Amino acid sequence: MASGRRQWLAERPYIFAVVIAVALVLWMLSGMLSGSAQATEEDMGAGIKEAIIPKVQIDTRFAENVSEVIELYGRTEPDRITTLKAEVRGKIAAVFAERGSQVKQGQVIVKIALNDLKAQLAHSKALLKQREIEHRGAKKLHAKGHQGEADLARTFADLEAAKAEIARLEIDIENTVIRAPFDGVLNTRMVEVGDYVASGDDIAVIADLDPLVVRAYATENQVPFLTSGKTADVRLLGQELKQGTIRYIASVADEATNTFKIEVTLDNSDYQTLAGVSSEVSIAMKKLPAVKVSPALLALDEAGNVGIKSVVDDIVVFTPINIVKSESDGIWLSGLGEQADIITLGQGFVRAGDKVEAVKAQVR
C-alpha cells in the first residue's frame, strides 16, 4: 500500500507543487494579518499622541512708546592738539610747566637761552642809526644834484636792510619764549633744562580737551537720519551717561569702510574726562511701540532666523526680531503689537503653527 501511494504520487508531481503553493499563501496571509494588527496599534498610539496638546508658560507684555535708537561706537579725542617746536637754536634755560598740567593761552612753557641775540640787536640798532644818517645825506646831495639816483637807492636799501635785521632779531628773541597757543593740557614735554634744541625740534604737545570730541562712524543707512545739532547720549567706558551734541557729519564716506565720520562734542570744563576712552553713542530717533524682553527668550525658527515665540488664540506665532533699543537688562522689540503673550517656558519644544495650551506665569 505504501509503495503504491509513493508510486501514485511520483506519477503526479504537481500535487507537491499545489501543497507548497497553498502553504506559502497561508504563511503570507498570516504575516499581513499580523502587520495589519500592528499598524492598527501604531495608528492608535499616534492618535493618542496627537491628542496630547503641549503646555507652554506665557507672560503678557505690554508695549511702550520707545525711541528708536541709532547706536554707534567710537572714542574720545581732543578737540585740537598741537606740537610746539623751537624756532631758534639754543639751550633750554628754564621750564615753567609740568607734564599733565593745565595751561592757559599765552602761558610760558619753556625759555630758550638768548645767547648773543641781545648783542646782535644792539649792533643792528646802532647800524640802523648810521644807515639813517647816510640816507638823509644822500637825499640832500641828490636834491642839490651832487649825487645820482643809484646812490640814493643804495642808501635806502641799506636802511631797509638794517630795519629788517632788527625785526628778525626781535622775532628771534620773542621766539626764545615758548607759549601755549590755547587753553589745554600739557600732555608731553620733550625737553629739560640744559637740553640743546635746533630750529624745528619738538618742545611740547598741548591738547585741548574742552570740549571733548567723540569721533564715531555711521553707516550709509544711518547717516540720512543724523543732523548737526542733534542731541546724543554718550556712555564712556566705566563712566556715567553724558549728553553731547553732533557738530559734524562727513559729506564723503571713508573709502575703506564706506562709513561716514561724525563728531559729538561733550562738555569737559573740569578736564576729568580723558581722551582715548572707548565710547557708545546713542542717538534717539522716532518713537515706536515696543515690548521689552530678556535676550534669553529669543528663539530660532526652522530657517535659523532669530525671533520671539508668542501665543495667539492657542497657536504659536513666530515674530522675527526688530530691535528698537538695547539696555543692560533687556531689549525693546517692535512688531509684537500693543501686547503679546510671550512664551517664557517651553519655546524650544514648539514650532510656529503648533496648537498649545498656554499657562500664565505666576506673579511673584
pLDDT at 26 (0 to 100): 67
pLDDT at 161 (0 to 100): 93
* Weakest-pLDDT range from 38-52, 121-135, 141-155, 314-328: 38-52
Please tell me what DSSP assigns to residue 296.
Answer: G
The residue-averaged pLDDT of 234-249 equals 90
Task: Indicate the burial class of 93 (C-beta count within 10 angstroms; 0-12, 13-18, 19 or more).
Answer: middle
Mean pLDDT of the chain: 85
pLDDT at 7 (0 to 100): 59
* Weakest-pLDDT range from 24-33, 94-103, 212-221: 24-33
pLDDT at 88 (0 to 100): 93
pLDDT at 15 (0 to 100): 61
pLDDT at 1 (0 to 100): 52
pLDDT confidence tier of residue 72, bands split at 50, 70 and 90: very high
Indicate if 340 and 356 belong to the same structural domain: yes
* Weakest-pLDDT range from 12-26, 193-207, 348-362: 12-26
Instruction: Give pTM, 2 decimals.
Output: 0.62
Indicate if 309 and 329 belong to the same structural domain: yes
Indicate if 349 and 311 belong to the same structural domain: yes
Indicate if 155 and 183 belong to the same structural domain: yes
Indicate if 105 and 193 belong to the same structural domain: yes
C-alpha cell at 333: 522689540
Indicate if 193 and 124 belong to the same structural domain: yes
pLDDT at 34 (0 to 100): 53
Indicate if 180 and 225 belong to the same structural domain: no
Residue with cell 643792528: 124
CA atoms within 13 A on the CB side of 138: 18
Domain end, chosen from 267, 286, 305, is at: 286
When divided into structural domains, the chain yields a total of 4
Tell me: pLDDT of 16 over 70: no
Indicate if 99 and 195 belong to the same structural domain: yes
Domain end, chosen from 181, 206, 231, is at: 206
pLDDT at 103 (0 to 100): 95
Share of the chain above pLDDT 90, in %: 45
Cβ pair 207, 216 in contact under 8 A: no
The more confident residue out of 348 and 175 is 175
CATH number at residue 254: 2.40.30.170
The residue-averaged pLDDT of 300-306 equals 83
- The three state secondary structure string of 77-141 is ECCEEEEEECCCCEEEEEECCCCCCEECCCCEEEEECCCCHHHHHHHHHHHHHHHHHHHHHHHHH
Cβ pair 75, 214 in contact under 8 A: yes
Domain span at 296: 55-65+288-360
Question: Quick count: other Cβ atoms within 10 Å of Cβ 283?
Answer: 25
C-alpha cell at 156: 635806502
The residue-averaged pLDDT of 218-236 equals 91
State the Cα torsion 264-269-271-275 to the nearest 10°: 10
Return d(Cα 334, Cα 63) in angstroms, integer.
8
First-to-last alpha carbon distance for the chain, in angstroms, is 97
Indicate if 32 and 126 belong to the same structural domain: no
pLDDT at 144 (0 to 100): 79
The residue-averaged pLDDT of 48-74 equals 81
| pLDDT digit string, tens, across residues 131-141 | 899 888 888 88
Selection from 249, 224, 264 nearest residue 73 by Cα = 264
Indicate if 178 and 273 belong to the same structural domain: no
Tell me: pLDDT of 301 over 60: yes
pLDDT confidence tier of residue 81, bands split at 50, 70 and 90: very high
| pLDDT digit string, tens, across residues 274-295 | 999 999 998 988 788 888 988 8
DSSP 220-261: TTTGGG--TT-EEEEEETTS-EEEEEEEEE-SS--TTT--EE
C-alpha cell at 79: 578737540
CATH number at residue 183: 2.40.50.100
pLDDT at 296 (0 to 100): 86
CATH number at residue 293: 2.40.420.20
Cβ pair 276, 185 in contact under 8 A: no
pLDDT confidence tier of residue 8, bands split at 50, 70 and 90: low
Tell me: pLDDT of 37 over 60: no
pLDDT confidence tier of residue 244, bands split at 50, 70 and 90: very high
Indicate if 99 and 160 belong to the same structural domain: yes
| pLDDT digit string, tens, across residues 108-133 | 999 999 988 999 999 999 999 998 99
Residue 184's DSSP bridge partners are: 103
Cα distances (angstroms) measured from residue 357 to each of 55, 179, 253, 337: 5, 78, 53, 21
pLDDT confidence tier of residue 59, bands split at 50, 70 and 90: confident
Indicate if 255 and 239 belong to the same structural domain: yes
| pLDDT digit string, tens, across residues 250-269 | 999 999 999 999 999 999 99
Domain end, chosen from 234, 251, 286, is at: 286
Tell me: pLDDT of 351 over 60: yes
Cβ pair 65, 287 in contact under 8 A: yes
pLDDT at 125 (0 to 100): 92
